[in-house]
Amino acid sequence: MKCPECEKAGLKSTIYDPGGYFITAMCVQSFWDEDGKRHVHDGNWRTKSYSCSNGHRWSESWRPKCPTCGEGGERKIINHNAAPL
């Protein structure tokens, strides 16, 4: 993993991972389709925050992908860099 801001600026940095993540608390929809295949459609987003040795901060959010049909699987990065720490 690399800091998105440092990568843009051509800098090197160490990434700090505080551990753990936040998760929304929506109901997970699990079902078996007409072919008997199990689907797990989880609308909950997981969000984990990071910082780097150059003071940049960002969060990464993702939703799990259904192993059967691929529903979900979105990822997004949220930049918190109004100013370095």
pLDDT 10s digits, 54-67: 999 999 999 999 99
Asked whether the predicted pLDDT for residue 37 surpasses 90, the reply is yes
Tell me what the mean pLDDT of segment 13-37 comes to.
Answer: 93
- Helix H, strand E, coil C: the string for 17-55 is CCCCCEECCCCCEEEECCCCCEEEECCCCEEEEEEECCC
* Whole-angstrom distance, CA of residue 37 vs CA of residue 67: 10
Quick one: pLDDT at residue 82?
61
pLDDT band (50, 70, 90) for residue 69: very high
Query: Residue 56's Cα: distance from chain center in Å?
Result: 17
From the number of C-beta atoms within 10 Å of its C-beta (0-12, 13-18, 19+), residue 83 rates as exposed
pTM as predicted: 0.74
